[in-house]
């Protein structure tokens, strides 16, 4: 049986692919942390943090992206960019919350979370 987090990431990936995004990486890890999904939308590189909860509230899942977690993610992203020789600009960080309620997936998508 899949874990809640993996099920949420799978649902988020399907959602983004249906919207025309292309997956270039998944669960990329380094000493700073992990990036759940690495996607491209047209030519832009998009790093995606996925928060999954067994709840009907997307706000409950979004609350998991704390300031500390955001800072750790940004460090991880810069490490990824350096490791893959990507420019340090022109990317964005999105948050997808996946609420699992009565067996259904409810997805909310926030683009460009760097301003949080």
Tens of pLDDT, residues 75-91:
999 999 999 999 888 99
Provide the CATH number for the domain around residue 22: 3.40.1350.10
Cross-strand bridge partners of residue 28: 35
Overall size of the chain counted in residues: 116
DSSP reduced 3-state for 116: coil
Report the distance separating Cα 73 and Cα 46, nearest Å. 13
Say what the pLDDT of residue 116 is.
57
Spans in the chain with pLDDT lower than 70: 1-2, 55-64, 115-116
Report the distance separating Cα 32 and Cα 6, nearest Å. 21
Say what the pLDDT of residue 56 is.
58
Query: Looking at the 3D structure of the chain, how many domains does it have?
Result: 1
Say what the pLDDT of residue 1 is.
37
Report the distance separating Cα 13 and Cα 84, nearest Å. 22
Say what the pLDDT of residue 13 is.
97
Report the distance separating Cα 16 and Cα 111, nearest Å. 12
Contact yes or no for 38/47 (Cβ under 8 A): yes
Say what the pLDDT of residue 9 is.
95
Structural domain containing residue 30:
4-115
């Amino acid at each position: 049986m899949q874990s809640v987090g993996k099920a949420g990431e799978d649902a988020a990936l399907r959602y983004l692919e249906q919207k025309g995004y292309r997956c270039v990486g998944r669960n990329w890890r380094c000493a700073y942390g992990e990036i759940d999904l690495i996607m491209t939308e047209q030519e832009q590189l998009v790093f995606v943090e996925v928060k999954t909860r067994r709840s009907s509230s997307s706000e409950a899942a979004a609350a998991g992206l704390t300031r500390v977690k955001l800072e750790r993610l940004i460090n991880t992203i810069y490490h990824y960019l350096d490791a893959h020789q990507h420019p340090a600009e022109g990317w964005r960080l999105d948050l997808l919350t996946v609420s699992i309620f009565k067996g259904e997936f409810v997805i909310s998508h926030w683009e460009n979370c760097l301003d949080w």
